[in-house]
Amino acid sequence: MRPLVGITGRRLSASLTQGMDKRFAGRHVDSFFSDYARGVADAGGIPVHLPFEAGTAEAVERLDGLIITGGQDVHPRRWGGDESALPVDADPRCSTMAHDVERDAYEAALIRAAVDRGVPVLGVCRGHQLLNVALGGRLVPDLPPSEVEHYSPNEALTDGEPDHVVTFTPGSLAASVYGASRQVNSWHHQAVDALGGGLVVSGRAADGVVESIELPGRPVLGIQWHPEWQATTDSAFAWLTAAASGTHRPAGLSAAR
């Protein structure tokens, strides 16, 4: 039986959709980049898009794997960041870059439920950062300039630049997925700082920026790049679907902590 892999997304105003009938422009639509679903399906899983209303432990009980996707910054009040310099929050339904506390909450609830139940988790970019935050960690609010360009002008699909190579810790889950190193794409200006409970760093860029985190002994992996937008096939989807294939259990039976 192919594993069910849940994929998170955004909620936007229908008015952002070009050509939308104005009679319905005041409603909301749920938005998911199809590349995640394609990556899961190509790796042998069944992708399931999760709206905000699915941010529950009950939903996780019916899933075999979970992807927390990329997007806008996690609101700093969730991780103890400085809010004094923030502009007045725009409406996240009308601005794709505005903080979205509802999205933060539903994805964090999914992360905690999945970790608690032993359901494999893949955090991507924002999802990698939120994985850290959901487990009590903090973020670097704005990366200083360095020899590695983290906020790339490249368009997807891309494997990134030769100077952006992530080196993985020997023996880590990330190393088992990728080997010793991997050239990656990069579209972020924040990064993991202080680690959440139980997490360890398993990959860094040449400038020391954290690029992968994991929970030792558990099927939980956060990666700062976008595997769905790598030009060459990324192993993250194959790892997740393989891990998810081993999580089937009777309804209502949680995995042991």
Q: What residue ranges of the chain have pLDDT lower than 70?
A: 247-257
Predicted local distance difference test score (pLDDT) of residue 247: 54
As a whole number of angstroms, the distance between CA 37 and CA 22 comes to 30
Q: In the annotation, is 125 catalytic?
A: yes
Strand 4-8 vs strand 65-68: parallel, antiparallel, or unpaired?
parallel
179 contacts 212 by C-beta, under 8 angstroms: no
As a whole number of angstroms, the distance between CA 203 and CA 218 comes to 17
Check residue 103 and report its DSSP letter. H
Quick one: tokens of 147? 């020899």
Q: Distance from first CA to last CA of the chain, Å, rounded?
A: 25
Q: Which of 107, 211, 214, 228 is catalytic?
A: 228
Q: Which of 125, 164, 188, 214 is catalytic?
A: 125
Q: In the annotation, is 228 catalytic?
A: yes
119 contacts 65 by C-beta, under 8 angstroms: yes
245 contacts 3 by C-beta, under 8 angstroms: yes
Predicted local distance difference test score (pLDDT) of residue 256: 31
Burial class (CB in 10 A: 0-12, 13-18, 19+), 232: exposed
Q: In the annotation, is 150 catalytic?
A: no
Predicted local distance difference test score (pLDDT) of residue 232: 97
As a whole number of angstroms, the distance between CA 227 and CA 158 comes to 10
Instruction: Give domain limits for the chain.
Output: 4-80+90-137+212-244
Give pLDDT tens digits for 177-197. Answer: 999 999 999 999 999 999 999
Q: Which of 99, 128, 150, 226 is catalytic?
A: 226
CATH 3.40.50.880 assigned to domain 4-80+90-137+212-244? The reply is yes
Give pLDDT tens digits for 112-143. Answer: 999 999 999 999 999 999 999 999 999 999 99
| pTM of the entire predicted model | 0.94
Predicted local distance difference test score (pLDDT) of residue 246: 86
Please confirm whether the linkage preceding 50 is cis (ω < 30° from 0). no
- Residue in the structure block whose two tokens are 């992530």: 166
Predicted local distance difference test score (pLDDT) of residue 85: 75
Predicted local distance difference test score (pLDDT) of residue 86: 79
